[in-house]
Amino acid sequence: MIARLLEGVPRRGLVALGALLLLLLAFPAFASGYLLSVGFLILYFAFVGQAWNIMMGFAGQLSLGHSLYVGLGAYAAAALYVHFGISPWIGLGASVGIAMLAGAVLGFLAFRFGVAGVYFAILTIAFAEFARIGFDHFSWVQGSSGFFLPVANYATNDLWNLRGSPRMFYYLMLAMSVAAFVACHALLRSRMGYYWQAIRESPEAAQALGVNVFRYKMAAVVISAAMTSLAGVVFAFYYNNLFPEQIFHISRSIELILGPIIGGIGTLVGPLVGALLLTGLAEGMREVMLQLGVEVPGVKQVFYGICLLLVVMFLPHGVWPPLARRLGLERGAGGRGGH
């Protein structure tokens, strides 16, 4: 199993990944509370970026409404915890189930009736907006006035109920990001991965080769939704408050796709690189400006805009593919390890 996962992965790539993992593991030891929260955000965006990339990068289906799955995942686990004291580790079953159901309904409507391209993207926005407005009036989770979890006592870490310090959340998110990376790597070289990429490149040709396009597109949406909802669970227990206006908002959907776009759509490392660049640099810049006593509201958004512009103009495939080539990590013969 492990041997097959490693097959065709360049040795230098493995060494680089190992070094990165060690660095991330050691990070909390020397990071301040603020830096640790930035580290958490980077890992969070790396994870959701990876999840979104399954749909767009692998299967070529553009979703602009992934905040839907974050929100559903967050609300389901939080509501079960607050109302019934159910551990999020059990509650995430409901989160994943509901998100998969939402993804399946969306996918069925779109793929059964041939909604594709831009119209598919608009449908994903519509579903997220529908959830936002619906949750505003959903009194079981306090509607638009916001749903609050009892604030955690940071002195002790209760992993079972996800009540604890930022450091616990950092390591949890790190474990999830590593798992997502490995899972996506395995998916990409499975039958499903080949079929997704074929559908992305040419649905007609894929179908002529015996690929059930409907089934594999559905699988992409449902798997991506399930993964994204897990990030929602962590989000809810980390921030302890949920507002439909925020969590389902389209800006959240856009924010989570910037990482993979800037890092490199369809690549494994792209979402990670993108999250590191965007979140790391934006927060770092804000900090530097704070130190200098300059306060400019909206500087993060301007920074995102400039990054996007530069990438679109000079690196249309994202930062990672040319970087990988420079580092000699591009895919080796017969494998896609360098991704």
Q: Output 136 or 330, the one with its CB closest to other proteins.
A: 330
Work out how close the CB of 311 gets to other proteins at its nearest, in angstroms, rounded to a whole number: 18
3-state secondary structure the chain: CHHHHHCCCCHHHHHHHHHHHHHHHHHHHHCCHHHHHHHHHHHHHHHHHHHHHHHHHHCCCCCCCCHHHHHHHHHHHHHHHHHHCCCHHHHHHHHHHHHHHHHHHHHHHHHHCCCCCHHHHHHHHHHHHHHHHHHHCCHHHCHHHCEECCCCCCCCCECCCCECCHHHHHHHHHHHHHHHHHHHHHHHCCHHHHHHHHHHHCHHHHHHCCCCHHHHHHHHHHHHHHHHHHHHHHHHHHHCEECHHHHCCHHHHHHHHHHHHHHCCCCCCHHHHHHHHHHHHHHHHHHHHHHCCCCCCCHHHHHHHHHHHHHHHHCCCCCHHHHHHHCCCCCCCCCCCCC
Work out how close the CB of 187 gets to other proteins at its nearest, in angstroms, rounded to a whole number: 12
Work out how close the CB of 193 gets to other proteins at its nearest, in angstroms, rounded to a whole number: 9
Q: Output 101 or 205, the one with its CB closest to other proteins.
A: 205
Work out how close the CB of 192 gets to other proteins at its nearest, in angstroms, rounded to a whole number: 10
Q: Output 4 or 137, the one with its CB closest to other proteins.
A: 4
- Sites of contact with other proteins (CB under 8 A): 189-191, 194-195, 197-198, 200-202, 204-213, 266, 333-334
Q: Output 161 or 207, the one with its CB closest to other proteins.
A: 207
Work out how close the CB of 58 gets to other proteins at its nearest, in angstroms, rounded to a whole number: 11
Q: Output 205 or 290, the one with its CB closest to other proteins.
A: 205
Work out how close the CB of 333 gets to other proteins at its nearest, in angstroms, rounded to a whole number: 5
Q: Output 204 or 295, the one with its CB closest to other proteins.
A: 204
